[in-house]
């Protein structure tokens, strides 16, 4: 058993993407430091407890990264029916007594199991298995010599995406994570070579549907307000615009160097002064206490991680592996752009956290799961690997 474990760890060190793991760990450690500052206003013990939880999530994430680096994705996706059943079943758990969420928005996007000290977001896990399924679906079309530019192929892939996305939104009411599925689909379909006309049709139909839903009040009132405040920052300043106005104030007050770690006026005040500071607005905490330099460091780290994933995609040995890497990168891209844009008041507030930085144990672990999948693809790419065979293959 010990020899087996030693062989696995040796193989991991020799073949896995240690650069990607290192970047992820640096980003998470940076995030842990920010989470402590964002939560110590309650009391130092609370900040320390959140810091310990996030550190434990990092440790578990590294274990998960190693495990998923060893998996044979092609063998897993051959059992695609089980993966699809898992996605649907895991989402439907939200309608059981285990599901709960925010009463003020009606969202029901979390699972709480007895004995587990943290909540689990089904969307975080399902995004990864969805990427694998969608990549398998596109690969099947390619192997069957289907014309990826045809209407039939576009509909075939879109039905899978919007079926799962629609189910998740109906069950949870969580628009933010529902949109992540759509963005994954668009990125993977674009890389696969689907015709540009179908993307134009999608945006035209989507835009028209949004306009009609807006006109006939089919969009929740709080969601409409979140879009209105983007164009009129003075609208509902005590409600829909409150969170983002406070975020802008915090970032602006930080200047170039920031007010100093643990010294931010809004960060170290009550939650009313800067709400959701350890989750949605962790970037605002960075701006206030560490200034422009701290914000640039966050963006550089996330950009480096994304580029590393795309580098593995470029050198992947099969189209399937390439699609998977692009799907994982699209998760990071969407969450990074939306979260930072939300803090800068140029994107609507839709409850999207900043990858690796925001507080949340399940989010951190699933991100390392996704990056572990990418690391496993790197191992199996002839141009990037150094040893021929994994002990688990």
Interacting residues of 205 by C-beta distance below 8 A, sequence separation 6+? none
pTM: 0.92
Round to whole Å and give the CA distance between 97 and 227.
32
Using N-to-C axis directions, what is the helix angle for 242-254 and 282-314, rounded to 10°? 90
Round to whole Å and give the CA distance between 175 and 194.
26
* Stretch 280-297: mean pLDDT: 96
pLDDT for res 16: 84
pLDDT for res 356: 97
Q: Is pLDDT larger for residue 100 or for residue 38?
A: 38
Q: Which alpha helices (H) appear in the chain, and where do they start and end?
A: 2-15, 18-39, 44-70, 73-77, 80-92, 122-143, 151-172, 175-192, 196-215, 221-231, 242-254, 282-314, 319-343, 361-379
- Per-residue pLDDT of 333-390, as tens digits, reads 999 999 999 999 999 988 899 999 999 888 999 999 999 999 999 988 766 554 334 3
pLDDT for res 383: 60
**280 with 360: CB under 8 angstroms?**
no
| Range with the largest mean pLDDT of 89-103, 298-312, 370-384 | 298-312
Which range among 39-43, 100-104, 372-376 shows the weakest confidence by mean pLDDT?
100-104
Which range among 192-201, 208-217, 320-329 shows the weakest confidence by mean pLDDT?
208-217
* Stretch 291-311: mean pLDDT: 97
Going by pLDDT thresholds of 50, 70 and 90, the confidence category of residue 222 is confident
pLDDT over 70 percentage in the chain: 95
């Amino acid at each position: 058993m010990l020899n087996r474990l030693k062989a696995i760890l040796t193989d991991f060190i020799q073949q896995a993407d240690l650069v990607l793991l290192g970047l992820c760990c640096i980003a998470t450690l940076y995030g842990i430091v920010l989470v402590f500052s964002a939560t110590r206003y309650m009391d130092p013990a609370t900040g320390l407890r959140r810091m310990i939880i996030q550190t434990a999530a990092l440790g578990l994430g590294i274990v998960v990264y190693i495990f998923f680096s060893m998996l044979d994705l092609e063998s897993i996706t051959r059992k695609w029916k089980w993966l699809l059943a898992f996605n649907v079943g895991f989402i439907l758990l939200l309608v059981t007594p285990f599901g709960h969420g925010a009463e003020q928005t009606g969202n029901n996007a979390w699972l709480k199991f007895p004995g587990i000290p943290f909540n689990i977001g089904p969307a975080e896990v399902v995004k990864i298995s969805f990427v694998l399924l969608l990549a398998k679906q596109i690969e099947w079309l390619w192997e069957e010599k289907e014309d990826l530019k045809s209407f039939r192929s576009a509909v075939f892939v879109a039905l899978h995406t919007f079926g799962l996305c629609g189910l998740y939104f109906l069950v949870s009411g969580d628009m933010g994570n529902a949109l992540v599925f759509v963005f994954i689909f668009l990125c993977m379909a674009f890389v696969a070579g689907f015709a540009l006309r179908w993307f134009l049709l999608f945006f035209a139909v989507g835009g028209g549907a949004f306009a009609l839903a807006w006109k006939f009040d089919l969009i929740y009132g709080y969601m409409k307000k979140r879009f209105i405040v983007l164009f009129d920052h003075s609208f509902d300043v005590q409600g829909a615009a409150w969170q983002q106005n406070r975020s802008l104030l915090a970032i602006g007050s930080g200047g170039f160097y920031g007010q100093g770690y643990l010294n931010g006026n809004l960060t170290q005040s009550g939650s009313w002064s800067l709400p959701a500071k350890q989750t949605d607005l962790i970037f605002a905490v960075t701006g206030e206490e560490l200034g422009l330099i701290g914000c640039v460091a966050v963006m550089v780290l996330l950009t480096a991680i994304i580029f590393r994933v795309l580098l593995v995609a470029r050198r992947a040995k099969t189209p399937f592996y390439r699609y998977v890497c692009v799907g994982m990168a699209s998760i990071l891209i969407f969450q990074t752009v939306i979260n930072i844009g939300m803090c800068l008041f140029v994107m609507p507030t839709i409850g999207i956290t900043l990858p690796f930085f925001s507080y949340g144990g399940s989010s951190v672990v699933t991100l390392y799961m996704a990056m572990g999948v990418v690391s496993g693809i790197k191992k199996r790419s002839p141009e990037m690997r150094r040893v021929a065979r994994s002990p688990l293959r």
